[in-house]
């Protein structure tokens, strides 16, 4: 009932809010006093906060706008039972009633004895939005709250999202009122009520923060992409040895595309090679070789990688030396600015021109990419297109075992998660990569870029590379690493670099290229367990081809009344007489008797396959069956099988 104290000036506003949100209900205690707000989500279910589910919670009141105390009527429903989230946690600071020191999954469900929705026209839409979409959104909280000392009314307030002040408020979105002058309530309001983004319920009001419901607290669901784009980069000016530019052609020649197409459901598109020629004059930068050529190649590569990603494909880049990492990561960052980078390499590649011992740019790409080291570089002519924006906080290393002293300093200064080979030996490859992923992306929502240098593998696994280092990853560890990353569903780009077919003998080249193929296949979904054929639920049917195989395999071990040649003639003659029939997996009575006679005593069981025959475009089943009372052969233990005559058309 509506209390008399309601200000007439506010009544129409209250009434409009109630009409706009008919699914918002009041939760009452056993004395019919207001306790919390809830949201009807199914016919008998109300969503609210976990802290509202106290022992004295007993009723749900629907289609009300304002009240001081409700009497039992047709709008009041008895609660059957209530349940909190399985991982609910709400802990208050001692001697306080509202200062929460910990909140986690503050979600509750209430089920009523009778249906709630009979008088309602609509129910709310429940959203599955992630935190990224909430960054600048205005959130609306709807619920019941006191508008004076006695009267409780439905109302709504607009909030702007802000950072939560307590890291132990897990799965929470915090906000402040956009305009405190528009406040219509006194004390707290709306506990358990819906938080809306537009017209979609995306959370639950829980003072002092809006706690995301179970559907919303989950990270964005990622699935491995089934579309792949191949980019070749025949570039070798980032280092001093000839041959690495041949790798893209060598990989394609080794059947790269065909190997990837064998992965179930994978669509592969070859975007061709990057044109690595340049008309720009060589520039001189201290201790930095071929900068203009490195820059020109990476600029084109960055654009191509961005194109592949925008086409909805995983960008697979085949180098080339590791200086091309500048272009691949830059192109990826322009599409996914929240990406993380896993650098799989024997070397850290985070030297500047001041710390490098060789002056080769393939040892500098990470330092060129991360914004934290931008001030450690001189002005680099021709590199104006590339502005370092990627943060070193999103970088992790796997496989290190040849790290320069200043590279080690940078890793420690910025606390980069780095698993050298001794760490991998101690923890294993699975725990190593899982630790890096948890550090870089604890909410499991960021796209992943893997830059894989073939020299991360032990030199015995991949001998044809320019800077091999003994004691590296085994191929099995590398495959497992890529399988784990693939399983996240978040892999969006992978580079494979530093394969040099000009180094070593034929065996070395073949071994290195095969290792590269294995790494790529694992990253893109190849299963070492094998993959069953799609849409096929059973083994192939028994037909003439299978029978022929059986004949050939048993001839020399059996006694027979007909020779193998005679049996083959019977089968061949039958096939020649079959006309206008789609399938040769057909057995007629004569052939059936011949096969049964031939197989008698030679096999323990003849499988009961159903064999399909097409006549007049209507499939007819001709089964092999065991008689109800099978006869026993002379040998005393083998079953004979009968051919079952089936009615057919005139073209039988």
* Residues 75 and 184 grouped into a single domain: yes
Q: And the tokens for 454?
A: 């073939």
* Residues 67 and 138 grouped into a single domain: yes
The pLDDT of residue 394 is: 96
Contact criterion met (CB below 8 Å) for 52 and 192: yes
Could you count the other beta carbons within 10 Å of the beta carbon of residue 150? 12
The pLDDT of residue 533 is: 76
pLDDT confidence tier of residue 560, bands split at 50, 70 and 90: very low
* Residues 213 and 252 grouped into a single domain: no
* Residues 322 and 455 grouped into a single domain: yes
The pLDDT of residue 157 is: 80
* Residues 238 and 193 grouped into a single domain: no
pLDDT confidence tier of residue 608, bands split at 50, 70 and 90: very low
Kindly tell me if the per-residue pLDDT of 6 is higher than 50: no
Residue 534 within any structural domain of the chain: no
Please name which of 568, 561, 566, 562 lies closest in space to residue 545, comparing C-alpha atoms: 568
Q: The CATH number of the domain where 518 resides is what?
A: 3.40.800.10
Q: Which of residues 559 and 48 earns the better pLDDT score? A: 48
Tens-place pLDDT, residues 513-523: 999 999 999 99
Does pTM surpass 0.75? no
pLDDT confidence tier of residue 81, bands split at 50, 70 and 90: confident
Q: Which of the given ranges, 13-27, 271-285, 409-423, 525-539, has the highest pLDDT on average? A: 409-423
Domain count across the chain: 3
Question: Given 217, 237, 254, which residue is the final one in a domain?
Answer: 217
Mean pLDDT, rounded, for 528-547: 63
Please state, in angstroms and rounded to a whole number, the distance separating the CA atoms of residues 624 and 420.
63
* Residues 135 and 251 grouped into a single domain: no
The pLDDT of residue 563 is: 52
pLDDT confidence tier of residue 279, bands split at 50, 70 and 90: confident
Kindly tell me if the per-residue pLDDT of 391 is higher than 90: yes
Question: Given 192, 217, 242, which residue is the final one in a domain?
Answer: 217
Domain of residue 518: give its range. Answer: 227-523
* Residues 291 and 181 grouped into a single domain: no
Q: Which of residues 123 and 16 earns the better pLDDT score? A: 16
Residue 649 within any structural domain of the chain: no
The pLDDT of residue 469 is: 96
* Residues 558 and 483 grouped into a single domain: no
Tens-place pLDDT, residues 471-530: 999 999 999 999 999 999 999 999 999 999 999 999 999 999 999 999 999 999 999 988
Residue 239 within any structural domain of the chain: yes
What percentage of residues in the chain have a pLDDT greater than 90?
46
Please state, in angstroms and rounded to a whole number, the distance separating the CA atoms of residues 196 and 18.
15
Q: The CATH number of the domain where 146 resides is what?
A: 2.40.10.10
Q: And the tokens for 199?
A: 């017209």
pLDDT confidence tier of residue 600, bands split at 50, 70 and 90: low
The pLDDT of residue 574 is: 53
Contact criterion met (CB below 8 Å) for 487 and 448: no
Question: Given 191, 217, 243, which residue is the final one in a domain?
Answer: 217
Tens-place pLDDT, residues 630-642: 444 444 444 443 4
Residue 533 within any structural domain of the chain: no
Candidate from 96-110, 179-193, 268-282, 472-486 with smallest mean pLDDT: 179-193
* Residues 480 and 576 grouped into a single domain: no
The pLDDT of residue 290 is: 95
* Residues 586 and 480 grouped into a single domain: no
Please state, in angstroms and rounded to a whole number, the distance separating the CA atoms of residues 418 and 398.
6
The pLDDT of residue 609 is: 34
Q: Which of residues 270 and 638 earns the better pLDDT score? A: 270
Residue 529 within any structural domain of the chain: no
pLDDT confidence tier of residue 652, bands split at 50, 70 and 90: very low
Q: Which of residues 442 and 241 earns the better pLDDT score? A: 241
The pLDDT of residue 622 is: 41
Contacts (Cβ under 8 Å, ≥6 apart) of 185: 145, 146, 147, 155, 157
Residue 530 within any structural domain of the chain: no
The pLDDT of residue 567 is: 57
230, β-bridge pairs: 270, 316
Q: Which of residues 592 and 144 earns the better pLDDT score? A: 144
The pLDDT of residue 164 is: 66
Contacts (Cβ under 8 Å, ≥6 apart) of 134: 161, 173, 197, 202
**Residue 493 parent element (H or E):** strand 491-497
Residue 222 within any structural domain of the chain: no
Which residue bears the tokens 């040892």?
Answer: 363
Tens-place pLDDT, residues 306-328: 999 999 999 999 999 999 999 99
Mean pLDDT, rounded, for 269-275: 96
What percentage of residues in the chain have a pLDDT greater than 70?
69
* Residues 494 and 557 grouped into a single domain: no
Kindly tell me if the per-residue pLDDT of 593 is higher than 70: no
* Residues 462 and 367 grouped into a single domain: yes
Residue 532 within any structural domain of the chain: no
Contact criterion met (CB below 8 Å) for 10 and 184: yes
pLDDT confidence tier of residue 201, bands split at 50, 70 and 90: confident
Kindly tell me if the per-residue pLDDT of 295 is higher than 80: yes
Q: Which of the given ranges, 207-211, 285-289, 647-651, has the highest pLDDT on average? A: 285-289
């Amino acid at each position: 009932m509506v209390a008399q104290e309601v200000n007439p000036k506010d009544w129409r506003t209250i009434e409009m809010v109630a009409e706009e949100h008919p699914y918002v209900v009041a939760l009452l205690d056993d004395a019919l006093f207001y306790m919390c707000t809830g949201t009807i989500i199914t016919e008998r279910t109300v969503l609210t906060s976990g802290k509202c589910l106290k022992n004295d919670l007993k009723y749900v009141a629907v289609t009300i706008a304002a009240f001081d105390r409700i009497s039992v009527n047709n709008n009041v429903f008895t609660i059957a039972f209530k349940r909190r989230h399985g991982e609910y946690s709400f802990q208050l600071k001692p001697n306080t009633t509202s200062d929460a020191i910990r909140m986690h999954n503050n979600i509750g469900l209430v089920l009523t004895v009778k249906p709630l929705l009979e008088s309602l026209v609509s129910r709310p839409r429940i959203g599955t939005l992630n935190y990224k979409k909430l960054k600048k959104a205005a959130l609306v909280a709807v619920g019941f709250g006191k508008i004076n000392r006695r009267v409780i009314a439905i109302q709504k307030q607009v909030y702007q999202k802000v950072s939560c002040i307590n890291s132990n408020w897990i799965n929470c979105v915090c906000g402040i009122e956009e305009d405190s002058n528009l406040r219509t309530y006194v004390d707290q309001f709306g506990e358990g009520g819906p938080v809306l983004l537009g017209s979609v319920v995306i959370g639950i009001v829980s003072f002092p923060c809006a706690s995301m419901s179970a559907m919303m607290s989950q990270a964005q669901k990622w699935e491995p992409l089934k579309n792949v784009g191949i980019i070749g980069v025949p570039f070798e000016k980032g280092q001093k040895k000839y041959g690495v530019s041949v790798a893209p052609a060598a990989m394609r020649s080794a059947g790269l595309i065909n190997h990837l197409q064998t992965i179930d459901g994978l669509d592969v598109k070859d975007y061709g090679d990057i044109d690595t020629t340049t008309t720009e004059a060589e520039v001189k930068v201290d201790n930095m070789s071929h900068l203009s050529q490195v820059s020109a190649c990476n600029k084109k590569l960055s654009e191509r990688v961005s194109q592949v990603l925008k086409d909805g494909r995983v960008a697979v880049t085949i180098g080339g030396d590791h200086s091309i990492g500048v272009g691949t990561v830059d192109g990826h960052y322009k599409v996914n600015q929240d990406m993380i980078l896993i650098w799989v390499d024997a070397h850290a590649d985070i030297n500047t021109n001041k710390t490098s011992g060789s002056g080769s740019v393939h040892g500098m790409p990470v330092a060129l990419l991360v914004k934290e080291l931008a001030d450690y570089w001189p002005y680099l002519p021709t590199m104006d297109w590339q502005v370092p924006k990627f943060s070193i906080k999103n970088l992790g290393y796997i496989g290190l075992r040849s790290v320069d002293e200043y590279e080690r300093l940078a890793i420690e200064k910025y606390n980069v998660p780095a698993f050298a080979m001794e760490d991998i030996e101690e923890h294993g490859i699975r725990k190593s990569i899982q630790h890096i992923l948890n550090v870089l992306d604890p909410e499991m929502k960021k796209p992943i870029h893997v830059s894989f240098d073939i020299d991360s593998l032990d030199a015995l696994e991949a001998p044809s590379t320019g800077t091999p280092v003994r004691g590296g990853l085994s191929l099995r560890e590398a495959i497992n690493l890529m399988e784990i990353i693939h399983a996240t569903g978040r892999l969006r780009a992978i580079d494979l670099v530093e394969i040099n077919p000009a180094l070593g003998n034929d065996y070395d080249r073949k071994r290195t290229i095969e290792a590269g193929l294995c790494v790529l296949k694992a990253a893109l979904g190849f299963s070492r367990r094998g993959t069953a054929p799609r849409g096929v639920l059973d083994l192939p049917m028994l037909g003439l081809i299978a029978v022929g195989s059986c004949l050939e395999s048993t001839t020399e071990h059996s006694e027979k009344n007909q020779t193998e040649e005679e049996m083959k003639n019977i089968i061949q003659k039958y096939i020649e007489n079959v006309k206008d029939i789609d399938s040769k997996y057909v057995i007629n009575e004569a052939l059936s008797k011949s096969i049964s006679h031939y197989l008698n005593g030679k096999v323990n069981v003849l499988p009961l396959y159903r064999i399909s025959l097409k006549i007049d475009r209507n499939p007819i089943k001709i089964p092999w069956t065991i008689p109800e009372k099978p006869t026993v052969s002379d040998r005393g233990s083998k079953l004979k099988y009968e051919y079952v005559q089936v009615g057919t058309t005139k073209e039988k």
